[in-house]
Amino acid sequence: MTRVVIADDDADIRDLVSFKLQTAGYEVEAYSDGEAALAAVLDDVPDLVLLDVMMPRMTGTEVCAELRRNKSTAEVPIILLTARSQEVDVEHGFDVGADDYMIKPFSPRELVSRARAAIGRSA
C-alpha cells in the first residue's frame, strides 16, 4: 500500500488531508511538527512526504533540506504546503529540493491529483 507521511501543526488540515488521501486509497501517517515527521520519514521511508512550511520546532523547508541531504531519503517525493503565496517562498522550496508546492487554501481534490503525479514520477 502506498504510504504518505504528512506534517501540519493545524489538526483540522491534518485531518482534512488524511481523510482525502485515505479516501483516495493511501496509507497516511500524520505528525504535528517537523521534527517528528523527519524522524518518522528517516525511520521508514514513505512513498510521499507532504510538509507544511510553517511548523514548530522544524519548518517544512528545513525538513525537506535535511531529507535531501540524507542518502536514503534523497529521492523521496516531497510536496510543500504553504500559506505564504510569495514567489520567494516557492523558489526557496524548490531550492531545497521539493518536487511540488501547494498554496493554502488548496483544493483537496487537486492535492490528491498532485500527490498521484508526484508518486507516479518517482516510481
Residues forming the site for other proteins (CB under 8 A): 10, 12-13, 16-17, 19-20, 23, 54, 83-88, 91, 104-109
Closer residue to other proteins, CB minimum distance, 45 or 84? 84
Closer residue to other proteins, CB minimum distance, 71 or 88? 88
Q: Residue 119 CB, nearest distance to other proteins (Å)?
A: 20
Q: Residue 104 CB, nearest distance to other proteins (Å)?
A: 4
Closer residue to other proteins, CB minimum distance, 67 or 96? 96
Per-residue 3-state assignment (H helix, E strand, C coil) for the chain:
CCEEEEECCCHHHHHHHHHHHHHCCCEEEEECCHHHHHHHHHHCCCCEEEEECCCCCCCHHHHHHHHHHCHHHCCCCEEEEECCCCHHHHHHHHHCCCCEEEECCCCHHHHHHHHHHHHHHHC
Q: Residue 25 CB, nearest distance to other proteins (Å)?
A: 13
